[in-house]
């Protein structure tokens, strides 16, 4: 099992963090890059750089392009949600039958799209609270300790390769309840992230918008319950307030995306919640109004509303 390479699709923040840790543990790893130009840029850098606890370390992780013929047995998809399906489609022919495909995307929607594309693979969803950002091309800063919940929504037994992740220092645990976890994180993100963008503020400043936060949580709870996600709905407002307090000094991930002129994952977060409400015939005026305000705000910054 340990001689089977881990292919990492998407050499951005989380992809580089995972690739560096697996490689450092002596496991075979390949980074998959878009094309020959990206491969050349990667080789010029001499590999991936990981900054952790103030120390920078370079790892000469082997890299290849999407078109490389090597079969893939273990794939980690570390693209943004809006890129995942297209990126996976471009390497689908390389996946061995029964391949494990780990999906790191935030929100919901992209995982199902990838799973539908790969009926012969075993797709595993991950809900990650680890934090990383790129300080330069192929260089990542490990900014926040966190945890990874993994599951496929079907089996309750942890796969044997999970121990490999632990050996590489990647904190994680198998859960039969991965969908409730993904929904819960989506709900937290819906109640916090768009407001931080619209009010141009850190998470903690949302304490001054308590009624608006409560109204969004109340609607989210109804959406979650109607989607069969009562577990994810339990005590949502209290947890949102706890997260606002615990991360008061932080800027939300969506805030950071917008501030840096990057496309957001709105369609897989607030957009997904609004669509789910519509499909269940739920009137969700606050969530829908928030989505419209956010889309207008993004357009004013020249960013896509999907």
User: Which residues 6+ apart lie within 8 Å of 84 measured at CB?
Assistant: 77, 103, 105, 110, 111, 113, 114
In 3-state terms, what secondary structure has residue 141? strand
CA distance 302 to 98: 42
Query: How many angstroms from the chain centroid is the CA of residue 258?
Result: 17
Residue 139-178 contact track with ligand NAD, rule CB under 6 A, x = bound: ----------------------------------------
Contact 32, 91 (CB under 8 A): yes
Among 243, 276, 277, 294, binds ligand KPL (CB under 6 A): 243
Sign of CA dihedral 161, 164, 166, 172: negative
Sign of CA dihedral 32, 24, 150, 157: positive
Residue 242-271 contact track with ligand NAD, rule CB under 6 A, x = bound: -----------------------x------
For the segment 40-99, give every residue that binds ligand NAD (CB under 6 A).
66, 78-81, 83, 86-87, 90
By CB under 6 A, which span of 57-65, 171-179, 185-193, 231-239 interacts with ligand KPL? 185-193
- Name the residue among 25, 9, 69 with its Cα closest to residue 161: 25
Q: Which does 202 bind (CB under 5 to 8 A by kind): ligand KPL, ligand NAD, none?
A: none
Contact 77, 84 (CB under 8 A): yes
105 touching ligand NAD, by CB under 6 A: yes
Closest CB to ligand NAD among residues 3, 260: 260
247 touching ligand KPL, by CB under 6 A: yes
Instruction: Check if 185 is active-site.
Output: yes
Closest CB to ligand KPL among residues 29, 240: 240
Q: Which does 79 bind (CB under 5 to 8 A by kind): ligand NAD, ligand KPL, none?
A: ligand NAD
105 touching ligand KPL, by CB under 6 A: no
Q: Tokens 């390389």, residue?
A: 94
User: Which residues 6+ apart lie within 8 Å of 291 measured at CB?
Assistant: 194, 266, 270, 271, 274
Region for residue 153 given its phi and psi (left: phi exceeds 0; alpha: psi -120 to 50; beta: otherwise): left
15 touching ligand NAD, by CB under 6 A: yes
Among 188, 197, 224, 227, binds ligand KPL (CB under 6 A): 188
Residue 252-271 contact track with ligand KPL, rule CB under 6 A, x = bound: xx------------------
Q: Which does 189 bind (CB under 5 to 8 A by kind): ligand NAD, ligand KPL, none?
A: ligand KPL
Contact 68, 58 (CB under 8 A): no
In 3-state terms, what secondary structure has residue 158? coil
Catalytic residue positions? Answer: 185
Residues that bind ligand KPL (CB under 6 A): 188-189, 192-193, 203, 243, 247, 252-253
């Amino acid at each position: 099992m340990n001689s089977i390479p881990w292919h990492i699709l998407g050499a951005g923040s989380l992809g580089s963090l995972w690739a560096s840790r697996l490689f450092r543990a002596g496991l075979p790893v390949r980074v998959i890059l878009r094309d020959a130009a990206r491969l050349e840029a990667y080789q010029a850098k001499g590999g991936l750089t990981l900054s952790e606890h103030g120390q920078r370390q370079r790892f000469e992780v082997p890299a290849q392009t999407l078109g490389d013929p090597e079969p893939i047995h273990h794939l980690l998809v570390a693209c943004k949600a809006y890129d995942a399906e297209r990126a996976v489609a471009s390497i689908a022919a390389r996946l061995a039958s029964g391949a494990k495909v780990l999906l790191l995307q935030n929100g919901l929607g992209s995982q199902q799209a990838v799973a539908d594309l790969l009926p012969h693979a075993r797709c595993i969803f991950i809900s990650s609270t680890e934090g990383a950002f790129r300080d330069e091309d192929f260089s990542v800063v490990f900014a926040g300790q966190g945890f990874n919940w993994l599951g496929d929504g079907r089996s309750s037994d942890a796969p044997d390769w999970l121990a490999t992740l632990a050996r590489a220092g990647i904190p994680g645990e198998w859960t039969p309840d991965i969908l409730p976890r993904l929904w819960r994180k989506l709900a937290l993100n819906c109640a916090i992230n768009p407001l931080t963008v619209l009010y141009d503020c850190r998470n903690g400043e949302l304490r001054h918008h308590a009624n608006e936060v409560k109204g969004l949580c109340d609607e989210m709870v109804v959406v979650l319950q109607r989607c069969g996600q009562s577990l994810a709905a339990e005590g949502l407002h209290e947890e949102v307030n706890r997260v606002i307090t615990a991360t008061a000094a932080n800027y939300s991930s969506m805030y950071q995306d917008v501030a840096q002129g990057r496309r957001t994952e709105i369609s897989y977060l607030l957009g997904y919640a609004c669509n789910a409400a519509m499909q269940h015939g739920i009137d969700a005026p606050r969530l829908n109004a928030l989505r419209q305000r956010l889309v207008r705000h993004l357009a004013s910054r020249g960013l896509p509303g999907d």
